[in-house]
Amino acid sequence: METFRKHLPEYLMEAAQLGLFLIAAGIFSCVFEYPSSPIHQAIPNGDLRRFLIGVVMGLTAIIIIYSPWGKQSGAHMNPAVTLTFYRLGKVKRQDAIFYILFQCLGGLFGVYLVALLLGQVFTKAPINYIVTVPGKSGWVVALLGELVIAFVMMMTVLLSSNNQKLNRFTGLFAGFLVMLYVFFEAPLSGFGMNPARSLASALHAHIWTAFWLYVIVPPAGMLLASGVYQYLFGKRAVKCAKLHHANHKRCIFRCNYNRNGKIDLSDSLPIPGEQS
């Protein structure tokens, strides 16, 4: 309980961040895709509308990652991210459990707020709670799409966040990938990549089509990326679980960075199961 009390601010930040991301996703989906929306009517090209949604959501992700809350909690916003860093030995078990719990709660609350604000504009077709379901190509293509985007996202995060020159740009890379995923991958699977995000929409919409896919595949893709990364660079190559560490916010993880964002091997903690 002492650890819970001390780390509660980070847990609440994780909930708020995913909640805000889904609020933005819900509102802008309605702005661009609801048939009666003036912007929808002014932009008849569906591909262009989806590209603009991608730009907005990519910018939203970047803003959240570089916000004071994102800098402190690490801006996971995703159980698959937290599970991967737990597997890498950078997140303690209790923190991983409560990060995932609060991410789910934040996502549920975010979708609820949009439904409360916009009513049937958000809850009925074509928006339908921005639920993630396989596209016209079917669940197999959706599965492959989710696997690829999760793998690429985590590999990008690991390659940049553990590089002394690139770590401060990790949020930019992640936001750019979100933009690309909305445009290119969303037609295949709805762009889930986040079990908490998919749960939030499915629970409110009561639509569970291929839901197992959105729970299992994103963590599998990210864990696969972490395995490849460790195979290439070694088991201790991962320095921390934050997407952005070049700041003066506290870090609750097993961290190998000092307060200036530089690698500090003298303060490194052993990965569970390994000799120190």
- This prediction has a pTM of 0.92
Mean pLDDT value across residues 219-243: 96
Question: Nearest CA to 159 among 263, 239, 250, 274?
Answer: 239
| pLDDT tens figures, 97-126 | 999 999 999 999 999 999 999 999 999 999
- How confident is residue 265, by pLDDT bands cut at 50, 70 and 90? very low
Domain boundaries, the chain: 2-267
Give the chain's mean pLDDT.
93
Helix (H, G, I), strand (E, B) or coil at 238: coil
What CATH code is assigned to 2-267? Answer: 1.20.1080.10
Range with the lowest mean pLDDT among 131-140, 194-203, 258-267?
258-267
Q: Is the pLDDT of residue 267 over 60?
A: no
Range with the lowest mean pLDDT among 19-23, 177-181, 246-250?
246-250
245 or 79: whose pLDDT is higher?
79
Q: Give helix 79-87 / helix 139-161 axis angle, nearest 10°.
A: 60
Mean pLDDT value across residues 239-255: 93
Q: What φ, ψ does residue 103 adopt, rounded to 5°?
A: -60, -45
Residue percentage of the chain with pLDDT more than 90: 89
What b/e sequence results for 116-153 when a residue is b if at least 16 CB atoms lie within 10 Å of its CB, and e otherwise?
Answer: eebeebbbeeebebbbbbbeeeeeeebbebbbbbbbbb
